[in-house]
Amino acid sequence: MIVRLFHSGISKGESPVNYLLGDVDHQGQLRAVKPEVLDGDPQTTIAVINSIDRKYKYTSGCLSFRDSEKPTREQMLEIIDDFKATFCPGLTSNHFNSLFVLHQDKGNTEMHFVIPAQELTSGRRMNIHPPGQHNLEFFKAYTCVTNHKLGYAQIVPDPMKMAFSDFERKTPEGRKEQSDKRWVHQHVIKAVANGSVQNRDDLCRYLDEDLGVTVTRQGDDYISLKFPGAKKAKRFRGNLYSKDADYRSLLAQSAVAKQPKYLTAKEFAAERGRLASFIQEREQFNKQHYLSIRPIRRLAKPYRPVHVVPPAFQTKPITRSPNMRNTIQLPIVRRMILQALMIARERVQEPAKRVQAVPVVHANPRKVIHSIKDLREKAWGGTSPEIQTGFAELVMSITELEISLYEAMGDFAYAHGEKAEKLKQRIIQLQLQLAKLHAQKAQMPVEDEEQELKGYGRKLKK
């Protein structure tokens, strides 16, 4: 028994399923024995494949037995269960779909399968035959262990045998190319066996002079041959056509490959251990990708507090990235605004005759700050229902309180414990003070406000 995997899987679901269940084979000839479904439902497999939006939609292949190997129906069902448990470990029929169909029209037993490339519960891609040598070793270990369990001889590759692609085996054009290549290959084997060809130079001369085909290109592991009247050359790959081929060794290996080989108890234990390692590795992969709950990306990242900056002073977008934090310095801005308020206050309080085009006299910052503090304490304490001050000074006091409130809110975003509690109380007090000052501002006559603002603007212009 050998597992063959086909290089396809991009068509709709009807294409592979109709071929497996059709009355004619790949050559268009009527099957002597009708196909039989061993496991799965064809319509379900078609529906699953057609629901996949990706390019590669399924994996197809067959478990092919030699003419002398006659597995019973019970053995075939056991092989199917073991195949699914081996290459889809940790998953059940709720996680993947599969279809197995029995073909016996060629004289031997073939169990063809189609497995959609999708895990059903998550909708993610699931490929039982990923590319790479590691996966090929996985299938090789499964073939060795299964053949030993069934009592069949092991698969020993013949180095003199020529492999053909799916195109050459399944399409009319490919079958014609296969026939031409097989004719050349058989003559090459005879020439190597009788000693006429001992290296690749002898091979190229033999092909040109004796067979009448032209060698157009020579690679490390292939040669390209052009048949008479053909438009394109055909590439021949294999050990016989490689650059450093040892034909005597190939003949000896071919003779050994034709003899039945069975595993010893020690060899079987080693292959079974390799297979168990492959199964465990894939089971861990399936559990991680299909069975485990994936965390939401946004909640998986640690939370970083955002520094709250008033919209009036926000010059850059706020971000959680440490390299792009808002670099505005509130204490500097606060000091600049206070200096401007102090200069404006001095000009308002001085008589008009003293406001002349002379150099600015710097005010005492401590004096102005105490004046604003007294005004704020009066508003907070409630000792006087009305603050005996002008409208412009009241506006400046409100501005100073708003700056202090914004600064406290910014510090609160990064504070913890006792410091955060103190800042919280300070924010509440500043909010109450602002509310009282706004109430005081609302009680002032509109006419007085307009006149004072006009006078304040004229004085600032001077």
Instruction: Take residue 278 and report the two structure tokens written for it.
Output: 């492959």
CA dist., res. 59 & res. 117, Å (int): 7
pLDDT in tens, the chain (462 residues): 999 998 879 999 999 999 999 998 877 889 999 999 999 999 999 999 999 999 999 999 999 999 999 999 999 999 999 999 999 999 999 999 999 999 999 889 999 999 999 999 989 999 999 999 999 999 999 999 999 999 999 999 888 887 777 677 667 677 777 788 888 989 999 999 998 888 888 999 999 999 889 999 998 888 999 988 888 888 888 888 888 888 888 888 888 888 899 999 999 999 999 999 999 999 999 999 998 876 655 555 555 555 554 554 444 444 444 444 444 455 556 666 666 666 666 665 555 444 444 444 444 544 545 555 565 555 444 443 444 456 667 777 787 778 888 788 878 777 778 888 888 888 888 888 888 887 777 776 655 545 555 554 554 444
- For the chain, list the domains and their CATH numbers: 2-155+262-284 (3.30.930), 166-257 (no CATH), 324-461 (no CATH)
Rounded CA separation 141/297 (Å)? 39
Alpha helix (H) ranges present in 246-388?
247-257, 265-286, 297-300, 330-349, 365-381
CB contact at 8 A, 127 and 289:
no
Rounded Cα distance between 316 and 329, Å, is: 12
Angstrom CA distances, 73 to 2, 38, 84, 130, 320, stand at: 18, 9, 17, 30, 64
CA separation for the pair 388, 375 (Å, rounded): 9
d(CA 391, CA 371): 15
What does the radius of gyration of the chain's CA atoms come to, in whole angstroms? 44
Beta carbons of 408 and 431 less than 8 angstroms apart: no
The whole-model pTM stands at 0.60
- Taking the C-alpha atoms of residue 279 and residue 88, their distance in angstroms, rounded to an integer, is 8
Which pLDDT score, from 0 to 100, does residue 325 have? 43
Phi, psi dihedrals of residue 416, rounded to the nearest 5°: -140, 155
pLDDT of residue 11: 93
Q: What is the pLDDT of residue 356?
A: 47
Longest dimension (CA), the chain: 128
Report yes or no: 168 and 178 within 8 Å, Cβ to Cβ: yes
Per-residue confidence (pLDDT) for residue 339, from 0 to 100: 67
Q: Can you give the pLDDT at residue 406?
A: 76
Question: Taking the CB of residue 403, how many other CB atoms lie within 10 A of it?
Answer: 22
End-to-end CA distance of the chain: 105
Which residues share a beta bridge with 215?
A: 225
CA dihedral 376, 380, 382, 385 (to 10 degrees): 50
| Nearest of 4, 22, 18 to residue 46 by alpha carbon | 18
Q: What is the model's pLDDT at position 266? A: 95
